[in-house]
Amino acid sequence: MEAFQEQAQEHLLAVDVDDKASVQRTKIKISGLKKGSNKDVAILRNIDLEVPKGVIMGVIGPSGSGKSTLLRALNRLWEPPSGTVFLDGVDICDLDVLSLRRKVGMLFQLPVLFEGTVADNIRYGPKLRGKKLSDSEVHKMLKLADLEISLSDRPGSELSVGQAQRVALARTLANEPEVLLLDEPTSALDPISTQNIEDVLVKLKTNQGMTIIMVSHSIKQIQRIADVVCLLVDGEIVESLEPDKLSQAKHPMALRFLQLSS
């Protein structure tokens, strides 16, 4: 298994993206991350991973392989052991948790909006920090999420699921995150809404250099937008490949998962 992890690391560090300078800088580093369960079953096993700044990393694998747990460790929704997760070289356990979650935003499978208007939702995070967003700043967040400005005064309860997910994204972006974590963000959306979200993510990477880590069960989706793909099996990263080289995966469980998912 160590050989697979070494191969994964080599592939990850060799990823060729447009911004060569961004690849030279590690945004997130994970070293020896483990998590067990109450039944002495490992959820995460010795995860070692480096995520360069300004890339989209796709995380795929069978259900129960630890994908969501890995994401939650990165902004301390699950508290990782000290010395295992680093943001810009700083142990995230040494950071104020609210400050960390502003820098490392997260979007979930199903959007949950607060009571009030779309604008109220977008202003929520900055308001907690004592900052009041102007109308123009709210409109900027809507545009970033590919939403019409006219939605600003609409109650969140009146939105479609696709619109609500993009409002949730705009709300996250209002905190000016450096890293965006996405846990199956389009699994409940129709194809058009899915395409809208994908387009926004690519623009965030291209125009703002944002680092994005996305869990998805859709191999095709990951191939469309990711720069590198990590495959988790039983809590271990067994492969890390460029999207167009997934067919070259060597781990037997990874191969089986890819064949059944195609």
Domain boundaries, the chain: 2-109+178-261
Residue 20 pLDDT greater than 70, yes or no: no
pLDDT category at 247 given cuts 50, 70, 90 is: confident
State the pLDDT at residue 38. 61
% residues pLDDT > 90 (the chain):
68
Does domain 2-109+178-261 fall under CATH 1.10.3720.10? My reply is: no
- Mean pLDDT across the chain, nearest whole number? 87
125-156: pLDDT as tens digits = 999 889 999 999 999 999 999 899 999 999 99
On the question of pLDDT at 251 being above 70, the answer is yes
Angle at 200 between CA 198 and CA 204, to 5 degrees: 120
